[in-house]
């Protein structure tokens, strides 16, 4: 098994474990048990735990950019593209109920740790933010585009935190309906 494959396995396992158990709470032993490697061998692939975090964030940004590319290809209407983002919390409602939003829970944790990579983690939000603002500009709202993009992002985070705190999935569907109605007021 080559280095590239092992490295990718480490990143994939770390991504999942950071999401489910948190970054600080995830140990090398946890990742090692998942991948099937010994603890000491990690340092051949990564210089430190923070470097693994960097690779995980990079992978998440790349994955989200791919989602955006697909939504653009599948939906010609900007309003439908924004709706695709809104529907994310519905599609992933089971995981959100158990572990919250992968992006929001990571930035929240890194802020508490005063971790220097908080800015990097926020870039995952920025990818959505920029893209959503572009869609609102296409919807004829160029001046408020960024504000509306932030509003949609805040919606997703509010829903995720509350669904996670109460373990309530049903709540998500109601909030998505409410958000769809709101979005409709901006359609031409």
CB contact at 8 A, 48 and 96: no
Computed on alpha carbons and rounded to an integer, the radius of gyration of the chain in Å comes to 18
**Segment 80 to 99, residues that bind a copy of itself, using CB under 8 A:** 98-99
Q: Cβ atoms within 10 A of the Cβ of 168, count?
A: 13
Residue 154 lies near a copy of itself (rule: CB under 8 A): yes
**21 lines the binding site for DNA (CB under 7 A):** no
Out of DNA, a copy of itself, none, which partner does residue 33 contact, by CB within 5 to 8 A per kind? Answer: none
Which residue in the set 39, 47, 178, 184 belongs to the binding site for a copy of itself (CB under 8 A)? 178
* 131 within 8 A of 68, measured Cβ to Cβ: yes
**From the list 11, 18, 19, 28, which residue makes contact with DNA (rule: CB under 7 A)?**
28
Q: Which of 147, 173, 184, 187 binds a copy of itself (CB under 8 A)?
A: 147
Site for a copy of itself in 15-34 (CB under 8 A): 20-22, 24-25
Any contact of residue 2 with DNA (CB under 7 A)?
A: yes
What is the spatial distance between Cα 169 and Cα 20, in angstroms, rounded to a whole number?
Answer: 17
Q: Taking the complex as a whole, how short is the minimal distance between the CB of residue 1 and a copy of itself, in angstroms?
A: 30
Q: With CB under 7 A as the contact rule, which of the stretches 33-41, 116-124, 151-159, 170-178 interacts with DNA?
A: 33-41
- Is the Cβ–Cβ distance between 184 and 139 less than 8 Å? no
In angstroms, the Cα distances linking 169 to 3, 14, 60, 160, 162 are 40, 26, 24, 10, 10
Q: Within a 10 A sphere around the Cβ of 94, how many other Cβ atoms?
A: 11
Say how far apart CA 178 and CA 57 lie, in whole Å: 31
> Which chain residues interact with a copy of itself by CB under 8 A?
20-22, 24-25, 98-100, 104-105, 107-109, 111-114, 118, 121-122, 125, 147, 150-151, 153-159, 161-162, 164-166, 171, 174-175, 178
> Which chain residues interact with DNA by CB under 7 A?
1-4, 6, 26-30, 36-45, 47-50
């Amino acid at each position: 098994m080559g280095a590239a494959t092992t490295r990718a396995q480490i990143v994939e396992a770390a991504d999942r474990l950071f999401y489910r158990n948190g970054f600080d709470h995830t140990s090398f032993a946890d990742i090692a048990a998942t991948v099937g490697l010994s603890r000491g061998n990690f340092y051949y692939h990564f210089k430190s735990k923070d470097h693994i975090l960097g690779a995980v964030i990079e992978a998440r940004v790349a994955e989200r950019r791919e989602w955006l590319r697909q939504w653009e290809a599948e939906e010609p209407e900007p309003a439908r593209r924004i709706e695709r983002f809104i529907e994310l919390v519905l599609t992933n409602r089971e995981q959100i109920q158990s572990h919250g939003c992968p992006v929001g829970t990571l930035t929240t944790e890194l802020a508490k740790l005063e971790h220097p990579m908080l800015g990097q983690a926020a870039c995952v939000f920025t990818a959505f933010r920029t893209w959503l603002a572009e869609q609102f500009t296409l919807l004829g709202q160029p001046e408020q585009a960024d504000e509306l993009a932030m509003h949609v992002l805040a919606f997703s985070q509010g829903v995720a935190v509350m669904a996670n705190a109460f373990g309530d999935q049903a709540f998500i569907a109601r909030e998505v309906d409410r958000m769809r109605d709101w979005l409709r007021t901006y359609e031409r």
